[in-house]
Structure 1
């Protein structure tokens, strides 16, 4: 990693599969893959042991790869309350470990992440995987989807952390420009309604 790049650990929280992706993003907003994987826990183990396994996997990623920041997908309401509970617990573990490590942490919604990497907040899993492969110049999309989602979360965070070098939009990808334009419109709409 160079001093002008940011290394972000992205986490797609889940109790059975917790995606972990680490990217380096330079000042021109080009990303490169550092690490990607999935922490898996057996469904028949007690919840405490499963959370401990997730914690150990995240701690190892931080220890080995020394990220500058952590980004976690924000838990959102789903029909299955059991799934939401496990996702929320894994998310809490990730945020706790980031705080213990002294790393800044943020959460991003699934639609924020999809819009950041594809330009479309309702993109499907295959679209996200294809864009991650393209952005990171990979031979094939990362598998499983949890791994690609973790990389997307990391990229979203790195790209949203501030303006590009020079303050303009020239260094942005088309998806990033679409996201910046949508944010400007939303801010204008909110100010007009207040």
Structure 2
């Protein structure tokens, strides 16, 4: 199963692609999509959307996962981040992909073991969990962490769903 993790941002959106086969994860690719600060908000959102669509077409993931937005002290920044996140979520949804969402603390806890891990810790663990991965940007490492988190929780959800179906005698 090919998964894409997305770490949304208006200026820089990270993306990371992994393959998940059971509990085995392997690195496929990662990078960032950027927008130019001098452009209007609509033009910047268009750039993000086009960039994410390009990545989706190039790597053809089966599912997507996006980091949830945390609330900044600055309401204007939070609203702009929310708009960027909406565009980032829309791209895989328009291609028919399921899109999961995970809070930042859960992603860090899943990858590092603590929900308040610093970005360098996340990057180190991503490199340890995905041999061959060497994300050059923290946003790309964060996106790979989102994909790892989704792989872990997605597998748990499927196992739980199968157990429920068996318990109900296959009526689901």
Whether TM exceeds 0.5 here: the answer is yes
Q: Does 1:17 align with 2:19?
A: no
CA 1:77/1:139 → structure 2, altered by over 3 Å: closer, same or farther?
A: closer
Of 26, 43, 59, the match for 1:49: 43
Q: Distance in 2 between matches of 1:104 and 1:22?
A: 15
Partner of 1:144: 137
Native 8 Å contact 2:126 2:133 kept in 1: no
Q: TM-score, normalised by structure 2?
A: 0.87
Q: Distance in 2 between matches of 1:86 and 1:19?
A: 16
Of 59, 62, 74, the match for 2:56: 62
Q: Which runs of 5+ in 2 are unaligned?
A: 161-172
Q: Distance in 2 between matches of 1:112 and 1:164?
A: 15
Q: TM-score, normalised by structure 1?
A: 0.77
Native 8 Å contact 2:15 2:143 kept in 1: yes
CA deviation map 1:120-157 (0-9, x unaligned): 111110100000000001374x2211010000001101
How is 1:16-165 mapped onto 2 (pairs within 5 angstroms)?
A: 16-27=11-22, 29-138=23-132, 140=134, 142-163=135-156
Q: How many residues were matched structurally?
A: 160
How is 1:154-193 mapped onto 2 (pairs within 5 angstroms)?
A: 154-163=147-156
CA deviation map 1:107-129 (0-9, x unaligned): 10100100110111111101000
Q: Does 1:7 align with 2:18?
A: no
Give the 4+ runs in structure 1 shifted more than 2 A: 80-83, 162-167
